[in-house]
Amino acid sequence: MNQNYKLLLMSTPVGALGTGQGGGVELTVQNIAQELQKRGHQLEVVAPEGSFLTGVAVTGIAGNSQIAVQTQTRDVPIILPENSTLGNMWEYARQVQSKYDLIVNCAFDWLPFYLTPFFSTPIAHFISMGSMTQAADEIMERMAKLHPDRIGVYTKSQAETFAFAEVCEILSSAIDLALYDFCETPGDSLAWLGRIAPEKALEDAVAAANITKVPLKIYGKIQDQQYWQQIQQDFPDAPIEYMGFLNTADLQQELGQARALLMTPRWIEAFGNVAIEALACGVPVIAYRRGGPSEIVRDGKTGFLVEPDSVPGLVTAIENIDSLSRAACREQAEAEYSLAALGDRFEAWFDKILDN
């Protein structure tokens, strides 16, 4: 049990770590790598060229990025660009595989699943989103039949979007709590945090801010410019301010000032790392009762769970924020989302896969 493993951790190929292009999985890669390295496991992280992790070395791989799958339709065929980063990353993995006990794939892409039976080193797959395309579902299902112990996900809600829900290892998520300061007394604004893209439905949060006239500060990568322009056009008088994409240190300082975090995803959010980042700062979370956030938020205690897609529901929740305890939010983050707890879950999963 818990011997030291040699691990090859394969990141997402949609963009360099640190750019925000990869969304929450970037933070997950940082956290797993940091915690497992601290525990004495030997670890190499492979990621697109230009990637940066705090305290962990990264092997950068050149090439053209993969198109983010959530921007595509369910019937999209498998597409790889010429000189594909994804292809190059897995060619590298093939070459170095004999040095490792286990390869951990964090890419939501067809290729690593397809390649698994061709590798001699076992590959575990950490799936970071719910079901997205028919082609990805099919190859993941095939993998789940071949190696049912090798599929990890964030949450039960996410697992249930797949036909192989019952074999998924639920690994949840975590944050380095030491990086997030508890803020007892907030400012006047609400926060919205994440990739600015249609599946995140920022427009609902903006609509609620427009009705309540409570200012809303927006943080994150603008992934879809046209979508962002449309929101600004649709709500010309909304009290919103775009604050840019911030690194964790700056983000937590800003986030702590928020009265609450609004989470309004239209899709089934696999987890929602921003929810636990907010809780760690003492910021309650107002989220739709759907996907990951519905498993995180304690309704009426550390936030409110609102009927999905209901702007009036968001408005009522905003009016009741002051009934929530910010200390209870921090306490929940400490009790449930520490890096130590995450490390234990991943180690237990690896033990099972490697039969230790």
Residues contributing to the site for ligand UDP (CB under 6 A): 20, 23-25, 27, 193-195, 219-220, 245-246, 248, 251, 271-274, 277
Residue with smaller CB distance to ligand UDP, 102 or 278: 278
Nearer to ligand UDP, 175 or 353 (CB): 175
Q: How far is the CB of 151 from ligand UDP (least distance, A)?
A: 18
Rounded least distance, CB 325 to ligand UDP, Å: 23
Nearer to ligand UDP, 248 or 316 (CB): 248
Query: Under a CB-based contact definition with an 8 Å cutoff, are residues 291 and 269 in contact?
Result: yes
Q: How far apart are CA 138 and CA 155, in angstroms?
A: 20
Residues 208, 267: Cα–Cα separation, whole Å:
19
Tell me whether residue 220 or residue 343 sits nearer to ligand UDP (CB atom). 220
Name the minimum Å distance from CB 144 to ligand UDP: 22
- Report how far residue 135's alpha carbon sits from residue 168's, in angstroms, rounded to the nearest whole number: 19
- In the bound state with ligand UDP, the residue whose beta carbon lies nearer, of 142 and 345, is 345
Q: Counting Cβ atoms within 10 Å, is residue 83 exposed (0-12), middle (13-18) or buried (19+)?
A: exposed
Q: Cβ of residue 242: shortest distance to ligand UDP, in angstroms?
A: 10
User: In what order do the strands lie in the sheet containing 6-10?
Assistant: 58-61, 42-48, 6-10, 102-105, 123-126, 151-153, 169-170
Q: Which amino acid is at 19?
A: T
Cβ contacts of 95 within 8 Å, gap of 6 or more: none
Choose between 25 and 283: whose C-beta lies nearer to ligand UDP.
25
- The pair of three-digit structure tokens given for residue 26, joined into one six-digit string: 């970037």
Least separation in angstroms between CB 129 and ligand UDP? 7
In the DSSP assignment, the letter for residue 5 is P
* CB-nearer residue toward ligand UDP: 250 or 299: 250
Nearer to ligand UDP, 89 or 274 (CB): 274
Closest approach of ligand UDP to the CB of residue 305, in Å: 16
Least distance between ligand UDP and beta carbon 155 (Å): 11
* Distance of alpha carbon 259 from alpha carbon 110, whole angstroms: 41
Compute the half-sphere exposure of residue 345: CA atoms within 13 Å on the CB side of its CA: 21
Distance in Å, CB of 132 to ligand UDP, minimum = 12
Length of the chain: 356
Which sign does the torsion angle of CA 173, 26, 275, 167 carry? negative
Choose among 81, 61, 94, 281: nearest CA to 186.
281
Say how far apart CA 257 and CA 251 lie, in whole Å. Answer: 10
Query: Smallest gap, in angstroms, from Cβ of residue 79 to ligand UDP?
Result: 21
Nearer to ligand UDP, 11 or 88 (CB): 11
| Residue nearer to ligand UDP on the CB measure, 58 or 102 | 58
Integer Cα distance of 146 and 122 in angstroms:
12
Q: How far apart are CB 247 and ligand UDP at their closest, in Å?
A: 6
Instruction: Provide the token pair at 186.
Output: 């907030």
Within 10 angstroms of residue 211's Cβ, the number of other Cβ atoms is 14
In Å, how far are 19, 82, 254 from 248, measured between CA atoms? Answer: 12, 33, 10
Q: Residue 46 forms beta bridges with which residues?
A: 10, 59
